[in-house]
Structure 1
Amino acid sequence: MNEPARESVGEPALVALRGAFFAYEEGPPVFSGLDFGIREGRALALLGRNGSGKTTLMRLLSGGLRPGDGRLTVEGRPVTYDRKGLTRLRTTVQLVVQDPDDQLFAASVAQDVSFGPLNLGLPDDEVRARVDEALTALDIAALADRPTHLLSYGQRKRTAIAGAVAMRPRVLVLDEPTAGLDPDGQERLLTTLDGLRTAGTTVVMATHDVDLALRWADDVALLTASGAHTGPAAVMLARTDLLARAGLRLPWGVAVTRLLREQGLLDDTAAGPGTPEELAALFPYTPVERPG
């Protein structure tokens, strides 16, 4: 039985699947009776083992797939899968796939980023404004005229995200956005995503990295064979039962926090460290001077 998407009183889901069923042709059901919601203004991490349905769920939310039963809603209104309904959905939700090469096709960065706004039939000056805004937000304005085939992997990732941002969606859904990036590239991308969130974009990230989810997300959705289990990140990522069913390990920060509390080194009400750097800040090293 699926747990319903968590919605506090007065905080309905902006985008939601209700009672959704989906199966690929001649395959077993991926979802049956799925309830899942995205709350506006919350950073949501989507986690689960390979084959748990993360990519399918993201494509259902963005309109790339259609549920065989149930419904997709935006602000409580059912989505229609005609041209008008899908245009409305795609100006609300944008999906960026894991491999940027599956998304980039234009000759230059600016041309690629302009594709979505042009398809909306916007005037040229509005398209240029959106492209400039998206390139600046992703810190790739200097690459506007660069041929896409000459971009590094990290630059291609940013260009793919910029193409989605240029649509000015309320929800940006990212499939493994940090995969393939070195640590510096990951941190730069997370800083960029924080900037988008500050500007009002709700960000959903699919990831296998429980440590990243713990320090980045407000909410976490764990996909198991019984459905989607959603709640506050710190609570969900301490649920060893659900983590095991989702094929995930306990986050480093949760394990360390438990150990510190067991040893009386951290108050029960204090926030635990999410990274080694935060642990070092809690217990700064003081060299011991040895006599003579």
Structure 2
Amino acid sequence: MTPPTPVVELVRASFAYEDGPAVLTDVGLAVPEGRAVALLGRNGGGKTTLLRLLSGGLRCGSGALLLDGAEVTYDRKGLTRLRTSVQLVVQDPDDQLFAASVAQDVSFGPMNLGLPEDEVRLRVTEALEALDITALADRPTHLLSYGQRKRAAIAGAVAMRPRVLIMDEPTAGLDPHGQERLLETLERLRAAGTTVVMATHDVDLALRWADEAAVLSPAGLRTGPAAGLLADDALLDAARLRRPWAVSVGRLLRSRGLLPEGAPGPRTAEELDALLDRVG
């Protein structure tokens, strides 16, 4: 069976900032529809650059960016086509929020598409509901907490109704409760058909949340199912990532005969408790 065409794809992409060394060389990354993809790697390894290439914020020095199999052009028409399908949420919400109120900020993208006023209002309402911040619609953005600003920034991207939502370290700076609320939100978006790509340093989060992983190391980009890729000790060492808690626990349980070979291990403490209750 022929695999489906990725929604968005980087093909042999390379990039270097002006007067600097290459940040990425000959990188390929395909984002299939309906999947959750975690991008991991060391600090300064090129994750943010890769996300900006994938969303059209930067242009490949060589190689190409494809949308539905067709090469993206960087004129107004091509970028509008890309940005109605792919949206990037940057790491610091203060780099993205600029309007006086939350609702005004969320409405900015749909208004720039030239949509009718009624359609803009509908999209703002839906995005605020999706991020559970309807009560903040009229709140000045400078009075929001950090977690609220994160959610408002994501709502602005969601209002564009993208097929692919790309986020750079969305859980950074959030407390555990805030992280859980964000993950619940992402699950609702995925259930509604949005493909999600997330850059993160949190290997435990990536293993728990993602279907696919993409790991940047000095040797290049490796992609594959998250469970297998994040159990590759040599790859994790090269990317300066620690072994996920769940991988270590799974290996320990198998060594003690408490988990069959090949069976998926617990990904959270709650799942470990439930497994031990069953075998105990």
**TM category, shorter:** over 0.9
The secondary structure found in structure 2 opposite 1:58 is: helix
The secondary structure found in structure 1 opposite 2:125 is: helix
CA distance in 2, matches of 1:13, 1:74: 8
How big is the shift at 1:21? 1.5
The equivalent of 1:97 in structure 2 is 90
The secondary structure found in structure 2 opposite 1:184 is: helix
Partner residue of 2:153 out of 150, 160, 185: 160
Matched, 1:71 2:70: no
- Counterpart residue type for residue 177 of structure 1: P
CA distance in 1, matches of 2:138, 2:177: 24
- Counterpart residue type for residue 239 of structure 2: A
TM-score by length of 2: 0.98
Matched, 1:170 2:163: yes
1:165-244 → structure 2 map (5 Å cutoff): 165-244=158-237
CA distance in 2, matches of 1:117, 1:47: 31
- Counterpart residue type for residue 273 of structure 1: P
Unaligned runs of 5+ in 1: 1-7, 288-292
Q: RMSD value over aligned CA atoms?
A: 1.4
CA distance in 1, matches of 2:25, 2:264: 37
Matched, 1:85 2:66: no
Do the aligned partners of 2:34 and 2:195 also contact (CA within 8 Å) in 1?
Answer: yes
Partner residue of 2:127 out of 118, 122, 134: 134
The equivalent of 1:10 in structure 2 is 3
- Counterpart residue type for residue 97 of structure 1: V
How big is the shift at 1:102? 0.5
How big is the shift at 1:286? 12
Cα displacement string for residues 154-204 of structure 1 (whole angstroms, at most 9, x for unaligned residues): 110000000000000000000000111110110000000000000000000
Unaligned runs of 5+ in 2: none
CA distance in 1, matches of 2:119, 2:91: 28
How big is the shift at 1:149? 0.8
The secondary structure found in structure 2 opposite 1:70 is: strand
**How many residues align structurally?**
280
TM-score by length of 1: 0.94
- Counterpart residue type for residue 236 of structure 2: L
- Counterpart residue type for residue 170 of structure 1: R
How big is the shift at 1:270? 2.6
The equivalent of 1:49 in structure 2 is 42
User: What is the percent sequence identity of the aligned residues?
Assistant: 71
Do the aligned partners of 2:206 and 2:226 also contact (CA within 8 Å) in 1?
Answer: yes
Larger Rg: 1
Do the aligned partners of 2:90 and 2:167 also contact (CA within 8 Å) in 1?
Answer: yes
The secondary structure found in structure 2 opposite 1:283 is: helix
